Every structure is written in structure tokens, then in C-alpha cells.
Chains A and B, each alone.
Chain A
């Protein structure tokens, strides 16, 4: 019994799908509507994902970041020279030939001119200590060289050169009363660091009238486990009033805080649009059932059951939605994967990131298409299964 029903289902599914060309424009428009819904969803998901990854993948577990107690971000933190000196003696920090691997840093916001619209945007200029660059594992200079201490030299993340004008290798720019030269471009695997400008901390302090003031301290931990040692040491010294986090913790918190309105708009928008596409799918499938009325009645008369009739119609709806969905995924990926954009982070500076499609996101978007197909197919399929045989055959 069962195999016969299955065979009938397969036969009718095949028949329905092969007859799609008879209703080609109706079917194409439904496919296209579903493709658009899927594409909108996927682009938003890829944008959110790219933005999140730029931040969350930047943090290392064996680097500690020290902020003023109560500061949520680097920009609102302050650390004095005395506190830096106390930290240099703190346990848990790795040392090389007796010197602690630590960089006290100053973070200043400067203007950059966006290539796309010529408007000013906030860019972070980070003053690094001698060990600063070595505390970033994955950073490598892709053009030029590192800045030299004590000079007005800048190295620039490659995200900045991509999105902002005037930061190409060899360019000079004026920040405050000082002229700076871009001597190098660095890459860091697409993380938020590629949105930064780096220079010598002493020079940044003097140019921006912030002598002896730092904002954060980064330190290499003797091991990831040493984080707890350093944390409790800092917490127990009343002179410090600082908090210690691993860089990984810090960045994942940043990613959480700054996933804003736009990143979360994808699902609501896609669901609303999906309702519109669903109306189209229902229309297509009802007219498909209406057009095949005689055919369905004939099949029923020669012994095909209600279930195969139902399954055949549903198969057609699913085929349309899957084709539409795949097309949407393809189009969104071709046009938007790797698309570069930037927005404000919780540090009040631009985070430059690229849209990142992943197979998991594509599958999620495809599920939306399949849902539209299922809902858009079930009701017309029920109608198909219930068509009165006598009435339909008698009509003509």
C-alpha cells in the first residue's frame, strides 16, 4: 500500500514541476519575489556577521587590557603614569630579559575624510608603547614599514586606506599643529584594528597636550591562566582603581554592545516582505490548481489518491520557493559578499568591516524561502486534494 502512495506522490510531483513552464510568468514572478526576500535577509545577516566578527575576532586570550574602573570603552578610560609604573611590577605579566611586555596607550579621535561622500568621520589614532605592535599577534605590515619611536610617523590599518582618503603610503597629513607621514600599512585579518591609525605614544601625548596621560594598558600574560593572578592583584591595590580583562573578553563585550538597530533589522524586514511574497506564492499555487482542475479530476478518476494530489501541489510550491531561495542566496553573495562598509562603534570611532556570508547564514535564509513555499503550498494543495471529481469533469 505505502509504496504505491509514494510512487503516486513522486509521479504527481514530477508532473506538477514539469508543467511549471505552462504557468511560466506567474511562477517566475513568485520565484523572483522569494529571491528578493531571501537576498534582503541574507545581506542584513551578512552585514551583522561581518560587523560582529571584525570586533570579536580581534581579541586574544593571552593579552590583558586594563581600563579605569567603570569605563566601558577605551575612549572613556584614563590611566595615569603612576598606575602604569605600578602595573609594570604586577604579577602575571610576561617578561622578556627582565622587562615587562606591556604597552601604555593613548587613544585620540581624529577626522578622516570618507572616500564615498567626502564627509568627515571619526577615526581612532592610537599611541602605542614600544611593545605595542608585538602585543598584536596577527598584525603584519603589508606596505612600507613600522613607525619609529619619537617621530611623527603613522602606520595605518588597511581598512582605513580602503574607506578614507589621504592615508595612502607616503602621504602626509596635518593633525593639530603637526604634520604626519604615513610610513606603513598594516593588515590584521579584517578585524577592528584595521580601522586604526598607529603612532608613538609619546608623540601623540605631546601633540594632543596629554602629557603623562594614558587611556589603556595592554600586557602580554605569562599564560592565559595568569589573568586571574593579575586581576586579583589589581583589585587588591587601592592605588590602582582599574579593571583587567582579557582582550578576548573585552572585544566580545564590545561586539555585544554595538550590534545596533541596523544589524537587527534583517529578520523583521524579511518576515514582513515574506508575507508579501507569500501572497504571491498563494496566488500562483491557487491558479495552478485552478488551471489543472480537469487534469487533477482525471487523475483522481483513474485512481490517484488525495494524498498524492496534495503532495504534488506542495512539491510544486516547494520547488518554486527553493529555486527562488537559491537564486536569492546566489545574487546576494555575488553582489554583497566582501562589500566594505563602516559604522560607529561604542568607542565612538568608525569600525570598518566587510559583509560576510557563511554557509550557516545561507541555510538560515533558505529556510525562510522553504517556509514561504510550505505555507504557500499547503492551502492550495488541500484545495487540490478536495476538488470534486464529478464537478470538474462535468464542467467542459
Chain B
């Protein structure tokens, strides 16, 4: 009879109790898996942006306009390698509630600034050739069942075109994927020349210039040069790395990271208490047996290791089950999730993190009973009923 068998027998002796402990652990790690992968998806944009990608926006606020000529002017700044610009279109499809994350941009520049955007060469050519062409992120295309070549009417809740219409006709030139930043697959890009040609106001203005530098080492000098160049003009700029801009933008929604941490701390605290107490009780029930084992020659350390192995096995099993359920749920609800957390998936980060916490939880819940197992004197154990 080896130690592992003893551990297994101990866990199997009260199946209901073990099952309930596993359920509690499963819940904690299910929440961990879901919330942590949401957190990673939510903050992906600020971590995945290339460190030589920068943005210039109106100094007062990024919703205010800049002249379209700023794109070309920034392109001339030494150290800048590719430039594009965009305007927020306020687009929606059919119903104002089906709003789109839609920008008007210059096609050639856009594709140069985002080299990780993946479209076929044919789609790329089609977009460069068709003024009414639309580049659609994969998530959006799936949601509305759009295909390349489809004609789609899209309305704006900001702009109007001649005769008071709010609706524009587009042809879908391409459907792109963006593996390095899946959040971008939730966007739609129209051409700025089509925008300028049709809107009744806001023509020749943009909200943002996006550009890359030849090397991140040049960022500081380029930022200074641009913001000085436009200082004291009617449209002053503030330039920052795309990562920093995205971080500030994400923080506007609220401190999501803090909310997630607080919920997880609550869940783990509750589960720690439940499982820890149950372990204490389970070991106390076995006091006599531990006495017998010690009489048979098991050392105190061996008993301690047995109890720790038991709690560790329990919490690691619970963690794996919880992650499995979280993984199934995230995969099953993929289409729903894409709407608010594009690119959310369970990855090695969550598995490693969960296993780390499982070990901590295992030590914490098994620690006290293991200690008492180590210290237990045979006479006391056998005397106690």
C-alpha cells in the first residue's frame, strides 16, 4: 500500500463531501478562467500595439477635429515611416442600436500603418480601386452575414448627405483578420475620399493621425517635433504612442481590472474558507487512523505530505475542471462574446495562473491539518475518540 493509494482512499471515503469541495473549487477557478481571459482580451489593444506606432489627436480632446492636411504634414516629419488618418463615422446598420465601430480612412496609408491586417491581394486591390469599398473586420462580417461583393447600406448618426439622407451605400471589398489584435476585427473601414465627397459638413477634417516611426527610439523626438509644429495653431495636437492612447481610452470605461480583482478575491476567500474548514474537519475525523499509521512507522513528515497531497490534488483537480468549464463556455458563446470582448479565449496565461493559485490554495487549505498531522502524538491520537 503506497502513499498515493492512501491519498486516493482518503478522498474517496466521503464522496459527497469531496464532490462538494470540488464543486466549490470548480466555481472559483471557473470565474478565474472567465474573468482573467476577459481581462486579457479587454486590455489586449494597449499591449499588442507595436511600440513604433503613434497617434496624433486634437489637444483638447480626441473627438475634436484636425485638418486633413495634418496627415501629409506629419508624413514629412523625419523619422516617420508610414501615415494614415481617420474620422469617426458614427455608423450603424439598419437600426441605431446596431452601431458599428466605423472609421473613414485613406486606404493606402491605412494598409501601410497596419501591416498585420490580413486581406487577400485581390481584396486589397478591390478596396484601393473602389471609392465606395468597405473593409470589414471578420467579427462584424460574421455578425451581419456579410460577404465580399455584398452591397450594404450603412447609416451615420452624425453626418448627413445631400437631401438630408443619413444612409450611404457601400460594396464590401474585403473581410480582414487581425491576428495580433483581434479587437480590430470588430471594426469597419470606409474610404475618406467617399466621406469627403458626400458629407454636408465635416469635410476635410479628421479625428486622428496614425503613423509609424522608423524605430521606437525616434518616438520622443518625433512626438516633440509634431506637437511643437502645431502649437499655437487653431488645431493643436497631442501625440502619444498608440499603446498609451489605448490605455487611457480603456480606462474611460472604468477600472475594469480592479472590479475583476475584487470579484476574484471574494470568490477565492469564500472558497478558501469552505475548503480549508472541510479539510480540517476531514483530518480531525481521522485522528485515530493517523495514530495507527504513526504506530505502524509512518513518520510525521510522511503524514504531513499525505495530507498536503490530498488538499493539493483536490485544488488542482478543481482548477482543471473549472478551467475546462470556462473553456467550453467561452468557445460555446464565441459569437456572443465577440460583441463585447473580441478575441477573448482561454490561453496558457490563464492555465498557468490558475495552477499557480491552485497550488497556493492547496497549501493554504491543507497547511493547518497537515501541521496538526505532523505534530500529533500517538498517545493523544489513540486516546482521543
Contacts and interface: CB of A to CB of B under 8 A. Distances in A.
Interface of A: 25-26, 29-30, 32-33, 36-37, 39-40, 70-73, 75-76, 78, 108-111, 114, 116-117, 119-122, 175-177, 208-209, 241, 261-262, 269, 272-273, 275-277, 279-280, 282-283, 286-287, 341-344, 348, 350
28 contacts: A25-B280, A26-B277, A29-B277, A30-B274, A32-B269, A32-B270, A36-B269, A37-B266, A39-B266, A109-B61, A122-B252, A176-B60, A177-B236, A241-B164, A261-B340, A262-B254, A262-B259, A272-B27, A273-B267, A276-B270, A279-B23, A283-B20, A286-B17, A287-B281, A341-B254, A342-B254, A343-B252, A343-B254
Contacts of A282: 20
Interface in B42-78: 59-61, 63-64
A176 B236 contact: yes
B96 interface: yes
B135 interface: no
Contact of B27 (A76, A114, A120, A279): A279
Contacts of B20: 279-280, 282-283
A110 B60 contact: yes
A39 B265 CA distance: 12
Given A175-B60, A279-B24, A343-B254, A76 B31 contact: no
B271 interface: yes
Contacts of A25: 277, 280
A116 B90 CA distance: 30
Interface string B270-283: 11011011101100
A108 B270 contact: no
A283 B20 CA distance: 7
Nearest 6 A/B pairs, CB to CB: A280-B274, A276-B27, A29-B273, A33-B270, A279-B24, A279-B20
A116 B255 CA distance: 10
A78 to B, nearest CB: 8
B234 A177 contact: yes
Given A26-B277, A286-B17, A177 B232 contact: yes
Nearest to B96: A72
A19 B274 CA distance: 20
Interface in B1-48: 16-17, 20-21, 23-24, 27-28, 30-31
Interface residues of B, number: 48
A208 B235 CA distance: 9
A272 B26 CA distance: 10
Contacts of B164: 241
Given A122-B252, A277-B270, A70 B157 contact: yes
Contacts of A36: 266-267, 269-270
Contacts of A76: 90, 157-158
Contact of B31 (A110, A272, A283): A272
Contacts of B273: 29, 32-33, 280
B296 interface: no
Contacts of A175: 60
B301 interface: no
A270 B306 CA distance: 35
A342 B251 CA distance: 10
Contacts of A343: 252-254
Given A29-B276, A122-B63, A72 B248 contact: no
Which of A76, A208, A280, A348 has most B Cβ within 10 Å? A280
B124 interface: no
Given A109-B61, A272-B27, A279-B27, A29 B274 contact: yes
A275 B26 CA distance: 10
B274 A40 contact: no
B169 to A, nearest CB: 18
A37 B96 contact: no
B131 interface: no
Contact of A283 (B17, B157, B259): B17
Given A37-B270, A272-B31, A350 B166 contact: no
Nearest to A37: B270
B256 interface: yes
A272 B247 CA distance: 30
B263 interface: yes
Contacts of A176: 59-60, 234, 236
B21 A283 contact: yes
A139 B125 CA distance: 57
Which of A29, A40, A72, A116 has most B Cβ within 10 Å? A29
B60 A273 contact: no
Given A109-B64, A276-B271, 20 more contacts: A26-B278, A36-B267, A37-B270, A70-B157, A71-B158, A75-B63, A78-B201, A116-B255, A121-B251, A176-B59, A177-B234, A177-B236, A209-B234, A262-B259, A269-B31, A273-B267, A276-B23, A276-B270, A279-B20, A348-B63
